[in-house]
Amino acid sequence: MDGLMMNTPLTLQEILERARKVFGEQEIVSRIEDGSLHRTTYSQLHTRVLKLMGLLERLGIEPGDRVGTFAWNSYRHLELYFAIPCLGAVLHTVNVRLPEDQLRHILTHAETRVLFVDRCFAETLAPYFARGERLGKIEQVIVLDDHGNGASQGIEGALDYETLLSEASPIRAMPTIRDEQAAGLCYTSGTTGSPKGVLYSHRAYWIHSLGSTGVDSMAVSRTDAMMPVVPMFHANAWGFPYTCAMAGAKQVFPGQHLLGRPLAELIESERVTLAAGVPTVWNVLLQHLRKNDHDVSSLRNMIVGGSAAPVSLIRAYKEELGITITHAWGMTETTPVGCCSRLKSTSLALDEDDQIELRGKQGIPVPGIDVKIEGDDGSDLAWDGEQVGELCVRGPWVARSYYEDEERQSVFAADGWFHTGDVATIDVNGYIHITDRKKDLIKSRGEWISSVDMENVAMAHPGVLEAAVTGRPDALRDEVPVLWVVASPEVPAPAPADLVAHLGQRFAQWQLPRLEDIRFIEAIPKTSVGKFDKKALRRRMSEGD
Ligand code: AMP
């Protein structure tokens, strides 16, 4: 129809150009391998991205080709985040913690042509290339090395990133790309079978970034200094590299230095205002901050997601450090931000305690994301905070299929809903509360027990550092919960009976674990992206622990 708006493409090229034009002076700070800080700006990023695009072109990278990264969060990874998709190719971020078979599988499945690798991973990858295995169809490895010595780090035939870049000519003009074109690829580790690929479009990244800047979403502003601890190889570092560039925020990359002290020091020195990571990371930082003096007063908000944030963690940051934790939910399949737990004006009237409880929920869908909960029979369940069903989502940055994977498409319904596999309630105010992954629910005599709720309550006990709950078959009750506990080093370990009594304040008698099912362990095993690895716990149990 005549008189409508322009249809300019929503691409990462536009975000990059905007960053150069209006935020050219804004800083990008990275902690590099030796622990020192490297500083650059959006203007310098832009210059190097054009050269990198020139280099990729010279290597014969064509639109649609997959180009991989195997790296920690850094300015070089950010350059790749822009150069690869801006050329029309596909940025394939590879999880550096994957077991060998999965690494081999995803690089082969994606047919990744060139792989950019951090120097510290050269040792991991060198043996494959030494025995002539090209991990699928990798034609060229390029090593990201702080000293420009990437070519001599042990990977046969590898080239050095800095040397190549110093010799490269910038691409002459940005190629024309469409916004539906593929820009990124990330594999998500399924509970069964091999990892599944999720292919992102420029449009999805662009709209996701705009949505994430919103004050009731990730609220990224040009006045922020943002530190993504969530790795750039997992779910696009929750979109922050692009969102920050769009908003003009300073980016602060921790590299491989992810323990309490280096994170606290980075927050302090760079006056970080916003940070994002999984609960475990914030728990480690909290333990450090409790014992050491750091000025973290610049932090206005910490985003936590990836797995359920215990209310006790949210409370501890608020009460001990005055820092607000914002709980967010998302998935690789949702680019990933889906919902975010910020308060409504009506909830501001609640007392502090109830506000913190509410912040423990995963929150309200961000604009653009539609949600529902579905019963076992496929019916829509009421938003009453009681009915429990599978969370389904749809929206412009939700995947509509897995990449080149015909067999595992059943989670994408014909009417556009993606079945997340997460079990949730939604209350009358629209707050989603994830109670479990479908496979982690415990069914005792026909009634469900939420493992997440039980973990949450257990972790509120002062003697508990971390807790995970799995199910165990039981002749009498079908299934019973097993509570795995890592005792806090600060206080004497609680007795199993104490823990059961503590859980008894919130759970019915029939839901409680038996005394013999309270198991103290050194550490809860974690997955490659830092979540509790319940598969490993179940394995440990079946092996007779
Ligand atoms: P991934 O694709 O690896 O990021 O994993 C996505 C899954 O992580 C979701 O389906 C949830 O099971 C879980 N998850 C992510 N964020 C949260 C959260 N805030 N609370 C509970 N579970 C979460």
Q: Which residues line ligand 1 (CB under 6 A)?
A: 188, 235, 305-308, 327-332, 336, 362, 420, 422, 434, 437, 529
Catalytic residue status for 51: no
Band of residue 327 on the pLDDT scale cut at 50, 70, 90 = very high
Q: Where are the domains of the chain?
A: 12-254, 258-440, 441-542
In this structure, which CATH number among 3.40.50.620, 3.40.140.10, 3.40.50.2300, 3.30.300.30 belongs to the domain 441-542?
A: 3.30.300.30
One fold for 12-254 and 258-440: yes
Amino acid identity of residue 192, one-letter, is: T
pLDDT of residue 476: 79
**Minimum CA distance residue for ligand 1 atom 20:** 308
pLDDT of residue 469: 95
Catalytic residue status for 14: no
Asked if residues 91 and 58 have their Cβ atoms less than 8 Å apart, the reply is no
Measured CA to CA, the distance from residue 202 to residue 208 in angstroms comes to: 10
Q: How many C-beta atoms lie closer than 10 Å to residue 148's C-beta?
A: 14
CA angle 101, 471, 190 (to 5 degrees): 25
Does residue 336 have a cis bond before it (omega within 30 degrees)?
yes
CA 143 to mean position of chain CA atoms = 24
Phi and psi at residue 512, in whole multiples of 5°? -75, 145
pLDDT of residue 479: 87
Band of residue 190 on the pLDDT scale cut at 50, 70, 90 = low
Q: List pLDDT tens digits, range 58-102.
A: 999 999 999 999 999 999 999 999 999 999 999 999 999 888 888
In this structure, which CATH number among 3.40.50.12780, 1.10.3470.10, 1.10.3720.10, 3.40.50.300 belongs to the domain 258-440?
A: 3.40.50.12780
> Among 116-130, 198-212, 445-459, 487-501, where is mean pLDDT lowest?
445-459
**Minimum CA distance residue for ligand 1 atom 8:** 306
Tokens matching residue 274: 């916003």
Measured CA to CA, the distance from residue 337 to residue 384 in angstroms comes to: 23
Q: Which ligand 1 atom is nearest residue 336's CA?
A: 4
Band of residue 505 on the pLDDT scale cut at 50, 70, 90 = very high
Q: Which CATH class is domain 12-254?
A: alpha beta
Measured CA to CA, the distance from residue 292 to residue 95 in angstroms comes to: 32
**Minimum CA distance residue for ligand 1 atom 6:** 331
pLDDT of residue 372: 98
Q: Give strand ranges (E) for 189-245.
A: 196-201, 225-228
pLDDT of residue 181: 97
Asked if residues 511 and 449 have their Cβ atoms less than 8 Å apart, the reply is yes
